[in-house]
Copies of this chain bind each other. A is one copy, B any other.
Amino acid sequence: MNETLSVLMNHKSIRKFKEDEVSQQQLASIVAAAQMASSSSNVQAYSVIAVTEPGLKKQLAALAGGQAYVEQCPVFLVWCADLYRLKRVTEQHKPDQTSYEDSTENFIVATIDAALAAQNAAIAAESMGLGIVYIGGIRNNIAEVAELLGLPELVYPVFGMCVGVPDQEPGLRPRLPQAAVLHMNGYDPNQTMEQVKLYDETMSRYLSERTGGERTTPWSEIMAVRLTEPVRLHMKSFLEQKGFLKQ
């Protein structure tokens, strides 16, 4: 196994950070790595807001549902899908033409661009001994987050990411068996559902070990609870208000 594979295979989300700073140079390297990710037709339809101001981090932590590590980490990155730049240059070059920044396709392109860049950033940070955790919680109060960060139309915060020096050493969380997610030459529904049963056993044991036998809920049941919760149903109207997903 090469060094890079070792970094990839040892990812654990970090939720407790030391007080050490992330230096300007580290931040620049992390974002430079993010920028080298692939981008659909080179549109580079993403932006990242690095939040270092304590007051701002505190507000974001509250908006994300009271996640203390958002406030505690030295740098909180907010990864945004960004079609604003493209819209502006289109107005400059093609002022009289219809443009499609509101299409579902371009929404997907921008969301993917943000995600690919962010994952490169995560790997870069981890390769330097830093730890990260993705924060989907910033979508809990997404309108307030967007306002706080001054996001213009056609920019939405996809997720946040805490970055800092780890102050904990969590174990690796088992993933689904490979055969549950990898299909050869075509999707096999039975294969994936068979593998879920095996994963349920793995995760029951894992939970039990971590909680001294207190919790053993199988993964599939946790997922069923999650999918029956009305999570962030405001997303569609928020995105439409921001100019996305109209067609």
Contact = CB atoms under 8 A, between A and B. Distances in A.
Q: Which of A139, A189, A225 has the most CB of B within 10 A?
A: A189
A50 B181 CA distance: 10
A11 B179 CA distance: 28
Contacts of A211: none
A97 to B, nearest CB: 4
Contacts of A221: 89, 93
Given A9-B33, A92-B220, A41 B127 contact: no
Contact of A94 (B3, B41, B228): B228
Copies of this chain present: 2
Interface in A5-51: 5, 7-11, 13, 28-29, 31-38, 40-44, 46-51
Q: Which of A13, A105, A222 has the most CB of B within 10 A?
A: A105
Interface in A55-99: 56, 80, 82, 84-90, 92-94, 97-99
Contacts of A84: 189, 192
A115 B119 contact: yes
